[in-house]
Amino acid sequence: MDQTSNAREELDRLGRSLRRQLVELISDLTLRVHLRRLSLDEPKAADPHEPLRHHYATGYQGNRPANVTAAETAARAISRLRAAGWEVTASQEDDDGILWTVLVAHRDGNSIRILTSDATPAVVFRGQTPALALHPPQPVQPPEPVRTPETLTPGYVLCYECDGLGRCPGCGGRGWVLREPHRRHRCAECGTRQVCPICQGHGELSVSSLSPYQRGYYPELDRP
Ligand SMILES: [Zn+2]
Ligand SMILES: [Zn+2]
């Protein structure tokens, strides 16, 4: 099995384990559970750094029963999580006059946050897996040119900027370039349009519409 499918399997395993724990907590702490809201469909890109890393992230909001206080809800969540091997810390956070009890739990790189408050029956759950690199960094494939000397339209010359490539020569047609530290940046030459800014992606230029400056790239045109 290759490295890529190993990383995906590991991420899926962490995602399933996270979901199981969230389902158990939500079922235990809230009323009228709608688990379909708890989606963990496809891993999402966690940040724009190269190589891209992916994680599962999800959220859920339910209501605690009217006869259970926020403190009781938090205490019950802490004991369930600790019994299942999670490391839990609790703190108080004031958000616009609402005092929330915030639990943060970690296990195997997964994390769960639970917010509960006496100001509202709502109990908020958030969960995410660690971010894993699913694909080894791809070597950049040199793309096939759209025009070659053999496939030029009569009356046209190969674009001097991209040499027939058609794609932006600055970024290889990706629309972004890598700069330190491994971050994607908008290509300064094409501004994410991905095509060569001189020939607009055609790979060739009409001889009759070359400017005198552009004509300077083709001395053979002015040879007698
Ligand atoms: Zn570009
Ligand atoms: Zn071009």
Which structural domains are found in the chain, ordered by start? Answer: 3-133 (3.40.1000), 149-222 (no CATH)
Q: Which ligand is nearest to the CA of 197?
A: 2
Q: Which ligand is nearest to the CA of 175?
A: 1
Contact assessment for residue 162 and residue 196, using Cβ atoms and an 8 Å cutoff:
yes
Give the C-alpha separation, 148 to 46, whole Å: 40
Q: How far is the CA of 164 from the centre of ligand 2 (A)?
A: 6
Q: Which of 41-45, 67-71, 191-195 has the lowest mean pLDDT?
A: 41-45
Q: How far is the CA of 153 from the centre of ligand 2 (A)?
A: 14
Model confidence at 142, pLDDT cuts 50, 70, 90, reads: low
220's tokens:
């053979």
Tens digits of residue pLDDT in 158-209 = 999 999 999 998 888 888 887 766 678 888 889 888 899 999 999 999 999 9
Q: How far is the CA of 204 from the centre of ligand 2 (A)?
A: 6
Give the C-alpha separation, 27 to 23, whole Å: 6
In 10 A of CB 170, how many CB atoms?
18
Is the per-residue pLDDT at 219 higher than 50?
A: yes
Contact assessment for residue 93 and residue 102, using Cβ atoms and an 8 Å cutoff:
yes
Q: How far is the CA of 138 from the centre of ligand 2 (A)?
A: 25
Give the C-alpha separation, 55 to 67, whole Å: 37
Write the CA distances from 110 to 22, 28, 37, 67, 103, integer angstroms.
Answer: 11, 20, 20, 31, 14
Model confidence at 46, pLDDT cuts 50, 70, 90, reads: confident
Is the per-residue pLDDT at 44 higher than 70?
A: yes
Q: Note the pLDDT of residue 3.
A: 58
